Structure 1
C-alpha cells in the first residue's frame, strides 16, 4: 500500500535504480528513477517528490552541482547523495551543499532504508547547512575507503558546520592530528589559525603558561608578556594533543574555560573571551585515568562532546594499497624517484600487523622510494624491510594480554602494578617493588634486543643505547639467555 510519498532516484547505473526501486517500493513508497540529472531537475521543477536520492557522477551533470540548485528552488526537499567516490571531500561537499546524508557505494540496503525514513521524518531545520565551500583541487586530508573510514568521513562532514568540541582517540600513528586539521580546514573556522599543543612535549610546570599565556613578572624568567595558545588560536581551532598528559592544575583551568568561555593569563586579572574551537586527542584510556584520579571526570565530559575513534591500520587493511599509492605519489612530489609495488609485495604489506599504524607505513614507503634503485619494488625487498619489525600481538590474544589496540607500555605496566597490589588485598606488597618491576621490564627487553641481533652483543648494546660492558653485566645479573649465531665453516 502506498504511503503517498514519492522518491526521485537519479543514477546512471540501471542495476542500482532497479534495486532501489524494489527496496523502496516494498516500504510503500512510489519511486521514479532516471539515469540523467536533467530529468531529475525537471521533476524537481515540476514539484514532484518528497525526497531525492542522487548519484554524484552522471553523464550530463555532477550530482553535487545539482544539490544547491534543488535546495534553492525547494528548501524543504531532502536530498541523499550516494557516490563511489568515497572520500572525505565527497562527504564534506555533500554536507556543505545541503544534502541530508551521504552514503558511499556500495551501501547496505537496510542502512539506506533507515536513512530514507529519517530524512522523510526530519524537520526542515535539520537540513540547513552553513559550512564554508570546499575549494576544488584540495589534497585529501585522510585516505581510505574502508567502512570504518567512511563512518569517520560522514561524522566529520556533519561536524564541519558546528563548533562542537571533538575528542579524537586512537593509537599512535593513526592520524589524529589529520582529523583535527580536516575539521579546521573544511569547517566554519577555516579562515582562522590552526594551533596545536602537545601536552606530552611540554614540561608540566609550563603548560598553563603555554595554554593561557602569562604577564610580565608572573614568575621567574617572565621578562615580558607572552600570548598563550588560546590567544594565538583566536577565531580558529586549538588542537590539544595527548590531553591525557595534562597536569591536574591545568585541567582545572581548562575546565573553567570550557564552562565560562573565558580565561585569564598566568599572573593576569582581566578575563579574556575564549574564541576557539577545541579538538582534543589522546592514545590513552581516559576513563582509566579518571579511575586512578589522574584526569578530571567533569573535564572529560566537557571534551568528549563528540567522540571519534580512529581505527588502527590492522582494522582497515583494505586501505593499504590506496595509502601506499598516495605516499608514493607524495614522495615523487618531494623529489624522490617514481616507484610502484608488485602485486605480491602489496599482498605482503596487507599481512603485516602495523604496530606503528599509518605512520609506520608512510615511513616504509618513503624509505623504499629513497633507498632502492629498482622501479618496481618486489616481495623480497618488502620481506627484508619487514624482517626485523616488531610485530603487534595477534588480535585473538587472550584476555588480559597487552595489545596495541587497548594499551601502551605505560598502560600495561599500570595494569601489572594494579594486579600486584590486588594480590595482597589490604596489605602492601613486599618491599623492593621498584627493583622488581625494573627487572621484569629489563629482562625481556634485553632478550628481545639479543634476538633481533642474533646474539651479537655489540650490536645489541648499540640498539639499546648501552655500554657493551654494562650490557654484559646485565645479561649476567638477570640471567638472560644468549643464543649465538652459528659460524659457517668455509672449505671442506
Structure 2
C-alpha cells in the first residue's frame, strides 16, 4: 500500500480542487482545499498538511510567494507547484523556492498522484539560498508550453544547483546551444565565462589545439603560448557542440581531461588544473557511433550524466504560433516594423512540418519582418515563403468553406423562422458530411492528426474523438494517387 498523508490543494478553480481532491482521496489521503493565499495560510496552521499543492496564479497574489517561508518553518512539508504559466521561468522559480515538484497544467492525474506518493516518501532536501538576488529571469531564450518543453524546463531547473555533466540531444535547429546558455546563465557559474566550441566547424588536426591550447613552437604558426577553450572557460561552462564529430584521438585526450581535471597543452609537459562544467550536444545517434567504433563508450558515459532531449518542432506544433509571435516581437524590439499573424497564417504555420526546426521558423519570421509590406501576415503571404511542397492553398480554407455551407444549408432547411429546427435532421446531416470532411483532410496531410486538427481549426483530442465515433483509422487515410 502506498504511503498516505494529509494534502492541502490550493487553486481558485473549483473544478480542479474537486478533481484533484477526489483523485487523492481515492489513494487514501486526507485532503482539504483552499482558493486563495489567505485560505492557504489559515489551513497551513490548522490542518498542518504533509503535502502542499498550490497553483501560482491565485486571486490575492502569486502562489509562489511565501512557499520558501513555509518550507523554512515546516521543513517536513513537501510543496508541489502547479501552473498554467508553463515557462522555464516558472519552473526555475518553483525550484529556487524549494518546491519538491513542478507540474505544468494541464497535467496527468497519475503524474500528480505519483508526485504526492514520492513527496511523502522523500524527506525534503536542504536548499541553498532561496531567492538569490540578481538571477536573470527575464529574456530567457527558451520558448514553449508544450508537454515536451515542460519536461526540458523541469530538467534544467533541477541541474542548476549542481555541476553534473549534461548531454543535450536533438535535431539541428532545435536550440541545443540555447539550453546550454540557459543552464549557464541561471546556474552557479553564471559570473564566469561561457565558452562554446563546435567540433564540426574545426579542422580535425586543430581540434586538440583549440580545446587544450598550445605552446610556442608546437607547430607551424604557433608563435606564442595560447590558452585553449578549457582554460578560457576556467570556473565557468564549456559547451562542446556537435560532440559526435569529434575525432577518436581527441576523444581519448578529452576523456583523460575529464577524469583528471587537468589539461596539458599541445607541445607542453606541465598540466594545468581546470574547473569547468561540461555541456555537450549532438544531433547524431551516439549509440550507433559507438557500435561503429567512431565514439568512445566510456566518454559517452562521462558526458551523458544528465541527458536533455530537445523535441523537433514538428513534435510540439502547439508551440509554433507562440514561437512565431515571439520572433516577430523580437524583430520589433530590434527596430523592425511590428507584424502580427492572421488566423489562417497560424493554421498554415502549424500545418508545416518544419524540417529546419526552430531555426527555420526564426529565419522565416525575420524575413517577414524585413520584407513583408503588410502589417498583418496572412496565409497567402506565407505560401510565397514556404517550399513548393508546402500545404496547398485550398486545403487551409476548404474546411471553413464547408462549415459555412453546412450552416447555410441548415438555416434553409431546418425551419429557421418556422419554430424550433429539426434536431434529428441536423444530426443526420452532420453524420453524413463530417466523416467525408475528416477523410479528405486527413488524406491531404497523409494521416497526420496534428496537421489535420490545425487545418480544421479544432483541438487534436476533439479530432481523435470524432475519428473514434465514426470508426475512421487515420493510418489508412493517406493519399493513394
Q: Give the TM-score band, short-chain normalised.
A: 0.7 to 0.9
4+ residue segments displaced more than 3 Å: 1-4, 127-137, 387-391, 394-397
Cα distance, 1:38 vs. partner?
A: 2.1
Q: Using a 3 Å threshold, how does the CA distance of structure 1 residues 232 and 390 change in structure 2: closer, same or farther?
A: farther
Cα distance, 1:395 vs. partner?
A: 8.9
Judge which range, 174-183 or 292-301, deviates more: 292-301
Equivalent-residue separation in structure 1 for 2:155 and 2:265 (angstroms): 35
Equivalent-residue separation in structure 2 for 1:298 and 1:3 (angstroms): 39
CA contact (8 A) 1:131 1:188 kept: no
Q: Indicate the residue corresponding to 1:275 in structure 2.
A: 275
Q: Indicate the residue corresponding to 2:208 in structure 1.
A: 208
Q: Indicate the residue corresponding to 1:242 in structure 2.
A: 242
Q: Per-residue CA shift, 1:75-99, capped at 9, x if unaligned?
A: 2210000001000110011011100
Q: Indicate the residue corresponding to 2:347 in structure 1.
A: 347
CA contact (8 A) 1:2 1:30 kept: no
Cα distance, 1:131 vs. partner?
A: 7.7
Cα distance, 1:62 vs. partner?
A: 1.0
Q: Indicate the residue corresponding to 2:145 in structure 1.
A: 145
Q: Per-residue CA shift, 1:15-48, capped at 9, x if unaligned?
A: 1111121111111111111111122223334571
Q: Indicate the residue corresponding to 2:317 in structure 1.
A: 317
**RMSD (Å), alpha carbons:** 2.2
Q: Give the match's secondary structure for 1:79.
A: strand
Does 1:384 find its partner at 2:384? yes
Give runs of aligned pairs for residues 34-53 of structure 1, distance below 5 A.
34-45=34-45, 48-53=48-53
Equivalent-residue separation in structure 2 for 1:390 and 1:261 (angstroms): 51
Q: Using a 3 Å threshold, how does the CA distance of structure 1 residues 298 and 258 change in structure 2: closer, same or farther?
A: same
Give runs of aligned pairs for residues 390-429 of structure 1, distance below 5 A.
none
CA contact (8 A) 2:3 2:121 kept: no
Unpaired segments of 5 or more residues in structure 2? 392-444, 449-481
CA contact (8 A) 1:341 1:378 kept: yes
Cα distance, 1:4 vs. partner?
A: 6.3
Equivalent-residue separation in structure 2 for 1:248 and 1:67 (angstroms): 49
Give runs of aligned pairs for residues 64-143 of structure 1, distance below 5 A.
64-125=64-125, 128-129=127-128, 133=132, 135=135, 138-143=138-143
Give runs of aligned pairs for residues 366-381 of structure 1, distance below 5 A.
366-381=366-381
Equivalent-residue separation in structure 1 for 2:243 and 2:131 (angstroms): 29
Equivalent-residue separation in structure 2 for 1:242 and 1:72 (angstroms): 43
Q: Using a 3 Å threshold, how does the CA distance of structure 1 residues 138 and 128 change in structure 2: closer, same or farther?
A: same
What is the TM-score of this pair, normalised by structure 1?
A: 0.76
Equivalent-residue separation in structure 2 for 1:291 and 1:132 (angstroms): 46
Q: Indicate the residue corresponding to 1:58 in structure 2.
A: 58
Q: Per-residue CA shift, 1:432-469, capped at 9, x if unaligned?
A: xxxxxxxxxxxxxxxxxxxxxxxxxxxxxxxxxxxxxx
CA contact (8 A) 2:193 2:235 kept: yes
Equivalent-residue separation in structure 2 for 1:81 and 1:2 (angstroms): 21
Cα distance, 1:220 vs. partner?
A: 2.1
Equivalent-residue separation in structure 1 for 2:290 and 2:129 (angstroms): 37
Q: Indicate the residue corresponding to 1:19 in structure 2.
A: 19
What is the TM-score of this pair, normalised by structure 2?
A: 0.78
CA contact (8 A) 2:4 2:27 kept: no
Cα distance, 1:132 vs. partner?
A: 7.1
Q: Using a 3 Å threshold, how does the CA distance of structure 1 residues 259 and 27 change in structure 2: closer, same or farther?
A: same
Cα distance, 1:370 vs. partner?
A: 0.7
CA contact (8 A) 2:135 2:186 kept: no
Equivalent-residue separation in structure 1 for 2:75 and 2:307 (angstroms): 31
Q: Using a 3 Å threshold, how does the CA distance of structure 1 residues 35 and 96 change in structure 2: closer, same or farther?
A: same
Equivalent-residue separation in structure 2 for 1:232 and 1:45 (angstroms): 52
Q: Give the match's secondary structure for 2:196.
A: strand
CA contact (8 A) 2:215 2:222 kept: yes
Cα distance, 1:337 vs. partner?
A: 0.5
Q: Per-residue CA shift, 1:352-374, capped at 9, x if unaligned?
A: 11110110001111111110111
Q: Per-residue CA shift, 1:173-194, capped at 9, x if unaligned?
A: 0000011111111111111111
Unpaired segments of 5 or more residues in structure 1? 398-492
Equivalent-residue separation in structure 2 for 1:89 and 1:356 (angstroms): 26
